[in-house]
């Protein structure tokens, strides 16, 4: 899920830092000295992708979703996450290198020569056990899927993920209301404008959580890369899941986005079954549609829609996960081509990815 992106990254290297020089100047009781932790984690990923019902030469095409869309042997990204956790405060610096990372922070290079490597960069303050403030650039809290491949069962991404928000920059407050209930409020720059605010427009965000089910909201005027004024964008999103048994999990995502009558909507189910300790199978069944000509599906036809079925295996070898994947996209319009270079409403493709996490 997007809102749990860093929690899904396996943290293997944890270093305990002791404050050495200050003990001779400031005398403190051992019980009052907080243990401070620095950790380094991340992942690297690469893949091979081929079309089944379309060419794999200079005419190669891919589904209109983010990442995993290059032909042949291709690179994902290297992801390095440095974090520091004190008793009350800490930070996260999440850096990405490679095609997947560049696509994830696509707005940043417009304003900075170095911003295209920063996926997240924020500091936080645990005001109390129930309240945490976060300031900076953080991945979105909407949706089921995340930028890091470690946090997703499927390797390719959904249409909802690809055309929903990726990241935000601003201030958010998380509230642990009880064991079961949580809430979040945020004020942020326009979606994906992570370097700075170019025009004084802001977006409000909110989240209500109950036992692992989350209702997410976005509302606000958005910066236009074309310099055009827009009506406020409204998006509502539900993300959750249920453990139906010890080996069977069902994830759910549904979203609706609208800006003055133009936007998108969709829903997806994510059944996942653990065959053994080392192998699991998962299916993503997604329906995605447009209001007006949003351009997500790439047909240029208003109110287009697509049904995408993605079957993925996860085979774990220590910290390495091998992900074979078969995907079928079926659109309401002729969004693809076939092996004869004729317009087609469907595309079948295959990939195998390797993801190493540390």
Section 192-196 average pLDDT: 86
User: pLDDT, tens digit, for every residue of 38-72?
Assistant: 999 999 999 999 999 999 999 999 999 999 999 99
pLDDT reading at 9 higher than 60 = no
Beta strands in 178-331 (DSSP E): 181-189, 202-210, 213-220, 233-243, 248-259, 262-274, 279-291, 305-317, 320-331
- pLDDT of 21 > 60? The answer is no
Euclidean distance between CA atoms 131 and 222, whole angstroms: 28
pLDDT classification of 8: cutoffs 50, 70, 90: very low
Q: Using a pLDDT cut of 90, give the percent of the chain over it.
A: 74
And the tokens for 202?
A: 């802001």
What is the pLDDT confidence band of residue 3, given thresholds at 50, 70 and 90?
very low
Model pLDDT, residue 300: 60
The whole-angstrom separation of Cα 192 and Cα 100 is: 15
Under the banding of pLDDT at 50, 70 and 90, the label for residue 222 is confident
**Pairing of the two strands 248-259 and 305-317:** unpaired
Entry pTM: 0.85
Please, which pLDDT band fits residue 199 given cuts at 50, 70 and 90?
confident
287-300 residue pLDDT tens = 999 987 666 666 66
Quick: pLDDT tens for 300-355: 667 889 999 999 999 999 999 999 999 999 999 999 999 999 999 999 999 999 99
Least confident of 118-132, 209-223, 283-297: 283-297
Q: Give the contacts of 272 (CB within 8 A, at least 6 positions apart).
A: 153, 248, 249, 250, 251, 280, 281, 282, 283
The pLDDT assigned to 192 comes to: 87
CB 98 within 8 A of CB 104: no
The chain-wide mean pLDDT, for the chain, equals 87
Determine which helix (DSSP H) or strand (DSSP E) holds 41, and give its type and residue range: strand 36-51
Alpha-carbon distances of 357 from 79, 104, 262, 316, 322, rounded to whole Å: 9, 19, 39, 11, 12
């Amino acid at each position: 899920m997007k809102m749990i992106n860093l929690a899904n990254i396996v943290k293997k290297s944890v270093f305990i830092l002791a404050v050495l020089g200050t003990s001779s100047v400031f005398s403190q009781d051992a019980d009052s000295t907080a243990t401070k932790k620095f950790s380094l984690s991340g992942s690297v990923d690469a893949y091979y992708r081929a079309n089944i019902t379309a060419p794999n030469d200079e005419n190669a095409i891919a589904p209109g979703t983010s990442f995993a869309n290059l032909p042949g042997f291709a690179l994902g990204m290297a992801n390095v996450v440095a974090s520091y956790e004190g008793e009350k405060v800490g930070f996260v610096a999440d850096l990405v290198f490679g095609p997947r990372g560049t696509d994830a922070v696509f707005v940043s290079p417009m304003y900075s020569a170095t911003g295209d490597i920063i996926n997240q960069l924020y500091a936080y303050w645990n005001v109390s056990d129930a309240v945490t403030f976060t300031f900076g650039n953080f991945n979105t809290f909407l949706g089921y899927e995340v930028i890091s491949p470690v946090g997703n069962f499927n390797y390719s991404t959904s249409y909802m993920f690809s055309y929903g928000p990726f990241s935000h920059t601003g201030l958010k407050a998380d509230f642990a209301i009880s064991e079961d209930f949580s809430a979040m409020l945020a004020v942020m720059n326009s979606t994906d404008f992570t370097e700075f605010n170019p025009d004084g427009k802001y977006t409000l965000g909110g989240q209500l959580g109950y036992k692992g089910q989350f209702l997410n909201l976005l509302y606000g005027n958005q910066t236009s890369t074309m310099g055009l004024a827009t009506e406020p964008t409204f998006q509502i999103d539900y993300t959750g899941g249920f453990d139906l048994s010890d080996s069977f999990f069902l994830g759910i995502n549904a979203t609706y986005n609208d800006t003055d009558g133009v936007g998108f909507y969709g829903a997806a189910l994510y059944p996942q079954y653990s065959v053994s300790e080392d192998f699991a199978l998962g299916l993503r069944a997604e329906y995605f549609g447009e209001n007006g000509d949003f351009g997500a599906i790439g047909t240029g036809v208003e109110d287009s829609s697509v049904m995408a079925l993605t079957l993925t295996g996860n085979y774990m070898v220590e910290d390495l996960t091998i992900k074979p994947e078969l995907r079928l996209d079926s659109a309401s319009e002729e969004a693809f081509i076939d092996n004869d270079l004729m317009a087609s409403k469907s595309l079948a493709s295959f990939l195998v990815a390797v993801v190493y996490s540390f």
